[in-house]
Structure 1
Amino acid sequence: MGKFTIVAGARPNFMKIAPIIHAIQKQQKEGAKLTFRLIHTGQHYDKKMSGDFFEQLNIPEPDANLGGGGGTQAEQTAAIMVAFEKELLENRPDLVLVVGDVTSTLACSITAKKLQIDVAHVEGGIRSGDLTMPEEINRMVTDSITDHFFTTSEIANTNLRNSGFQDEKIHFVGNTMIDTLLAQMPHFKKPEGAVFENLELGNYFVMTMHRPANVDQEHKLKAMIDAILEGTEGLPIIFPVHPRTAKNLKEIGINAPNLLMTEPLSYLEFNYLVKNAKGVITDSGGITEEASVMNVPCITLRDNTEREETIQLGTNELVGTDPKKLKPYLKKVMDGNWKSYQGIPLWDGKTAERIVKILIDKYPD
């Protein structure tokens, strides 16, 4: 009987594992003798992750919360490893499944392998080439000890082959985040509040910024926001803002009537806004995937990306972190001259089914 431990450490991780849980439950109903435990490492405390959150995703609440949040990255990694080792000794699985590139991904992979337990990495092989990003180190270390890679693109497959991994370890399955997106799209809902009441569909922008390169230097942040305000020509810009960024913006005196700063939004609310936006301006990797599949123009304020397929086949363009480079891209969005989504192979809503079939094959009854 296949026994699996599924690990999630932050809200986006749960979006990625929800379809896998649904696919396992479907196989269980059809008679497959496999079981799973869902472990929340507690890496990110998020007040939006209440019982309602798990209900919306239609997944069970975690079997355990390791309480590994807070502290420096090293402290967090150590706390998760200590707690996860105890979890694995008490409930030893055949395989630990980790997703993405957060601290939990790294910590739980190392812990499992030291106990001689197999590791599967969902989104294995992704690379930005930027070692200043903690996520890149997490990806590289996790992949170096992974037994099964579930990959989102041929680019990831090539990265793994170039690192010397054999094809039998690489399983090109698609993107579970897109499984969730397509499943949840009928449930998207307009956020409540005065800010959103008069939004004209297709005639506003959505913006997210959280990377230190963009938000921690006051003069650079001001220059970037000024360039965005100029290029969007007075259209509303919805900006769900991290408290640290809000503080920085206040200190530099950014005050424009069309820059509408809001509290962080739920998944269903945020993606409602993205789906109906004229364009998205972001420094997040995941949003570029969702915007591409929804065929919404996406401008990425980063110098590199680990999701090259969103540029080659999606609606994403890598603009960089220099505000001076932004103007022509915003003009293309404003003029309606942006490229369209070409379709990314296997981003079809069936990725989790493929993953679970492979797991059943590798870890039979």
Structure 2
Amino acid sequence: MKKIGFLTGTRADYGKLKPLIKAIKPDGNFEIHLLVTGMHLLDQYGSTVAHVIDDHLGIIHLLPNQHPRQNMETCLARTIEQISETCSDNDFDLLVVHGDRIEALAGAIVGVLRNIPVAHIEGGEVSGTVDGLIRHSVSKLSHLHFVSNKKAQKRLEQLGEKTSSIYEIGSPDIDAMLFSQLPSVSEVKTRYNIDFEEYAVLIFHPVTNEIEFLNQIMEEITKSLEHSGHKFIIIKPNNDLGTHIVQKALSTLSDRNRYLHIPSMRFEFFLQLLKNAKYIIGNSSAGVREAAYFGVPAINIGTRQLNRNENELILNTGYDKEEILESILATENIERMPKQDFGDGKSGIKFAQILNSESFWPVDTNKVFVDVSK
């Protein structure tokens, strides 16, 4: 039996790893371990570790790695230490990480240095600011790549990764989005005490290399929301550097007739919330990924998701209040036609087929750089 560790640090990456875990769990060929760290273990973000525990998907290891306002490099170092200790006690055959967070970077570093094969989910994608740097770094440290589309595969090949190590499975969150048993809208509203008939969703994360301008940025964003006259469900940002600035600014939106603040949501409930929103606004990847599958317009503010994805549903805007308001008005005229650029909802099935194939094991941890022929 192969022992596989899945590393999760946020509500978002767990939502993407969960379909993959659920797909291989029934096979009985794998002992599943969940290394739970990051925002999951912080009270101010809803202690979402409870969601992981409730799902009963595997053996759980709790890895506390940070404190509020702790700088990111110290958090990275602590995360490496925690993952290393867990790996020393468990002889993992594979360590699975996702995306572009520092937890994924820590996991990839530990895997490489301990000669544990590392599988990276959704590498090869473009995102702005430091996130893109981390994502590509994780890819270079990883031995295996499970990508969402051909574009991502091509970028990994440009980074010198072997084609034979890259598997196109689509984006795992699409599995959850197309799942027929999502909670109903009424269930979502009841669970989170939402009494808005119509609403937009706001998720805005701090951009670490724009920290010196973050107060001004948040002032423009909050003013634009106030002037819009719309009702908003505001979901707390991630815990990157500057999150206290974002949260302080958003706390000024205190009119309960227009604003509902939610620390975190179960992924399945969030999907239904998003599906029925007028639009999503901010700089979350949900705006340039999940929203498109539901045909929901997205106002993408600033640089965090720069060049991540482009289609008619996405309105890219700067930080100026008037520009943001123009985009809010423009959502009224967007045709809500779903865009499916990241798979067919069968990522879990494909992932399970690959891991169960005889040719997959053992994983070669000796990496070489493959030059792209001109």
Pair 1:281 & 2:293 matched: no
Deviation by residue 1:19-42 (Cα, 9 ceiling, x = unmatched): 1111111222xxxx3322221134
In the alignment, which residue of structure 2 is the partner of 1:296? 296
How many Å apart are 1:43 and its aligned residue?
A: 5.4
Distance (Å, rounded) in 1 between the aligned partners of 2:334 and 2:147: 32
Whether the 8 Å CA contact 2:203–2:235 is kept in 1: the answer is yes
Equivalent position to 1:191, from 180, 184, 189: 189
Corresponding residue number in structure 1 for 2:71: 72
d(CA) in 1 for partners of 2:222 and 2:293? 26
Cα distance, 1:229 vs structure 2: 3.7
Give per-residue Cα distances to partners, 1:121-162, cap 9 Å, x unaligned.
Answer: 0111122253xx2x2232122111211110112221121122
Letter of the 1:116 partner, please give it. N
Q: Which residue does 2:171 correspond to in 1? A: 175
**Partner Cα distance (2:178, 2:118) in 1:** 27
Stretch moving more, 350-359 or 37-46:
37-46
Q: Is the 8 A contact 1:206 1:277 kept in 2?
A: yes
- 1:144 pairs with 2:143: no
Q: Deviations over 1:294-336 (max 9, x none)?
A: 1111111123526734x23x732322333333344222212x3
Write the distance in 2 (CA, Å) between the matches of 1:108 and 1:171. 20
1:247 aligns with 2:243: no
Distance, in Å, in 1 between the alignment partners of 2:218 and 2:211 is 6
Q: 1:60 aligns with which of 51, 57, 60?
A: 57
Query: Per the alignment, do residues 265 and 85 of structure 1 end up closer, same or farther by CA in structure 2, a change over 3 Å counting?
Result: closer
Structure 1 CA distance for aligned equivalents of residues 291 and 77 of structure 2: 35
* 1:89 match: secondary structure: helix
2:99 alignment partner in structure 1: 100
Structure 2 residue aligned with 1:25: 25
Q: Is the 8 A contact 2:7 2:96 kept in 1?
A: yes
Q: Secondary structure at the match of 1:37?
A: strand
- Matches for 1:178-327 after TM superposition, within 5 Å: 178-183=174-179, 186-188=182-184, 189-192=187-190, 196-197=194-195, 199-200=196-197, 203-212=198-207, 213=210, 217-230=214-227, 232=228, 234-241=229-236, 244=244, 245-249=246-250, 259-267=258-266, 268-303=268-303, 305=305, 308-309=308-309, 311-312=310-311, 315-327=313-325
Report the alpha carbon displacement of residue 167 of structure 1 after superposing the two structures with TM. 1.2
Does the Cα contact within 8 Å between 2:284 and 2:305 map onto a contact in 1?
no
- Are 2:358 and 1:359 aligned? no
Relative to structure 1, the CA distance from residue 141 to residue 80 in structure 2 (aligned partners, 3 Å threshold; closer, same or farther) is same
Letter in 2 for 1:149: H
Q: What does residue 327 of structure 2 align with?
A: 329
TM-fit CA distance, 1:286: 3.1
> Following the alignment from structure 2 to structure 1, what is the Cα–Cα distance between the partners of residues 64 and 78?
8
Q: Which amino acid aligns with 2:265?
A: S
Q: What's the CA shift for 1:257? A: 7.3
In structure 2, do the counterparts of structure 1 residues 84 and 219 end up closer, same or farther at CA, with 3 Å as the change threshold?
closer
Q: Verify the 8 A CA contact 2:236 2:264 in the aligned structure 1.
A: no
1:43-101 Cα offsets, whole Å, 9 max, x none, are 54244346751366x34365211222233222222222222222222211222111122
Structure 1: gaps (5+ residues): none
For residue 116 of structure 2, what is the aligned residue in structure 1? 117
What CA distance in whole angstroms lies between the structure 1 residues aligned with 2:11 and 2:270?
13
Between the aligned partners of 2:93 and 2:193, the Cα distance in structure 1 is: 49
| Distance in 1 between residues matched to 2:180 and 2:213, nearest whole Å | 34
The amino acid of 2:134's aligned partner reads N
SS in structure 2 at match of 1:5: strand
Which position in structure 1 is the counterpart of 2:372?
Answer: none
Contact 2:112 2:141 in 1 (8 A): yes
Q: Is 1:160 paired with 2:161?
A: no
SS in 2 for 1:82: helix
| Equivalent position SS for 1:326 | helix
User: Residue by residue, what CA displacement relative to the aligned partner does 1:271-294 show, whole Å, maximum 9, x if unpaired?
Assistant: 333221111112111343221111
Conserved 8 A contact 1:277-1:296:
yes
Q: Tell me, in whole angstroms, the C-alpha distance in 2 between the residues paired with 1:67 and 1:184.
A: 35
Number of matched pairs = 346
Closer, same or farther: CA 112–192 of 1 in aligned 2, 3 Å: same
Q: TM-score, length-normalised on structure 1?
A: 0.83
The superposition leaves residues 236-294 of structure 1 with CA deviations (integer Å, 9 ceiling, x where unpaired) of: 222234583342356xx667676414232423443333221111112111343221111
Instruction: Specify the SS of the correspondent of 2:25.
Output: helix
Alignment CA distance shift 1:219-1:79 (3 Å)? closer
Q: What CA RMSD, in Å, does the superposition of the two structures yield over aligned residues?
A: 3.0
TM-score by length of 2: 0.81
Alpha-carbon distance, 1:206 to partner: 1.7
Call closer, same or farther: CA 1:359–1:248 in 2, change over 3 Å.
Answer: same
